[in-house]
Amino acid sequence: MLDLNESEEFTALRSAVRSFALAELAPQVDEYDRADRFHEYLWPKLGEMGFMGVMVPESEGGLGLGYSAHTVILEEMARVSAAVAMSYGVHSSLVMDQLRKNGTDDQRRRYYPKLLSGEMIAAIAMTEAEAGSDLVGMRTTATKKGTRWVLNGNKLWITNSANADLVMVYAKSDPSAGKRGITTFLVEKSFGGMTVGRKLDLFGMRASGSAELVFENCEVPEENVIGEVNGGVSVLMGGLDYERVIAAAQCIGIMQAAMDLVLPYVHERKQFGQPIGEFQLMQGKMADMYTQLNAGRAYVRAAASAADRGRLTRKDAASVYLFAAENATQVALQAMQALGANGYSNEFSAQRLVRDAKLFEIGGGTAEVRRMLIGRELYREFG
């Protein structure tokens, strides 16, 4: 690794996550990918290690370490399984960090203990079949009836949803108000009216428990509204920039996994009487992979540090994610190419890295949307 002057605390954290991932996750990763099986057994183990609470204050049972520490955990987890890292990131960041920022004291008292221990698995439900990048176009509705809200509609591409006990749901509470008419709800599986629809047969990230969620007269108590009524877009946008930094860290893990695969292979594989790593073209490939990895890791570290200091800008959140995602795909493809026919075989992990990496150019706002956002912000700032 490039020496980024990590603190002793972060070095120890990285080592702990690496050891955990190799012992608890690595033996099953390919089997679970092939079977499209969710790693439900990991959740209590992650809770025991304290990883679930990396963003939660110590006063509320967490580690209180911030975004930089979270990127370390996600990088090392994605180095073994990007699917598990994504599922963990949804639980520990998208849901628990939103609870930290926008939840009430009562909501945190009710849900933090089970989320921290891994007893509960959390998901976040925003996207729909006709509402991807255009989230304001969602059709799921929330109608107030007395002290309860009634949700109806369908959500799609929801990570963890096939196994989730608690889902943070965005729904139209005032359909006539556009983006000012969306509210965020905490919906427990035990409430009834929320069911898992079709399970998605994904190209990559196959162990992430992604499925459709169906809401049919799902009743949610009013005390489970997150933030203000009709203020869901503020809740969403307040977390989206940080989500992109978290996702970028997972891309770094994929790039590191590609290096972990290629470097031993080019020593062991021989052609024309010598290791293929001695050929200049192969050395050039390794050099490109190494450069892209280190540039991405340094950018993620800088963005996470800015997030910890409250200085992260929207354009840099989109930019670090854009850079990391596109390079993760390219580095994974380079690893596949370096392995030749073996890279195309399911017996090696190169194909899984390629499949997993590609999602990051699509999810969390497509690469095209990120470019549009960055360009628009730059134009406004310096025009």
- Catalytic residue ranges: 243
Per-residue DSSP letters for 146-158? TTEEEEEEEEEEE
Joined together, the tokens standing for residue 87 give: 């599922």
Bridging pattern class, strands 166-172 and 182-188: antiparallel
Q: Residue 66, class by beta-carbon neighbours within 10 Å (0-12 exposed, 13-18 middle, 19+ buried)?
A: middle
Residue 120 Cα distances to 112, 148, 346, 348, angstroms: 9, 23, 33, 33
Helices 350-358, 232-268: inter-axial angle, 10-degree rounding: 160
Residue 3 Cα distances to 7, 12, 168, angstroms: 11, 15, 38
* Closest by Cα among 77, 55, 167 to 120: 167
DSSP one-letter code for 200 = P
**Residue 320 · residue 245 · CB < 8 Å:** yes
Q: Go through 55-65 and write b for each residue having 16 or more CB atoms within 10 A of its CB, e for each that does not.
A: bbeeebbbbeb
Element (H, E) at 106: helix 105-117
Q: Angle at the Cα of 244 (from 122 to 358), degrees rounded to 5? A: 90
Under DSSP, is residue 188 helix (H, G, I), strand (E, B) or coil? strand
Query: Which amino acid is located at 313 in the chain?
Result: T
Distance from C-alpha of 77 to C-alpha of 79, rounded to nearest angstrom: 5
**Residue 353 · residue 205 · CB < 8 Å:** no
Distance from C-alpha of 65 to C-alpha of 58, rounded to nearest angstrom: 9
**Residue 353 · residue 83 · CB < 8 Å:** no
Backbone torsion region of residue 153, taken as left when φ is above 0, otherwise alpha when ψ lies between -120 and 50, otherwise beta:
left
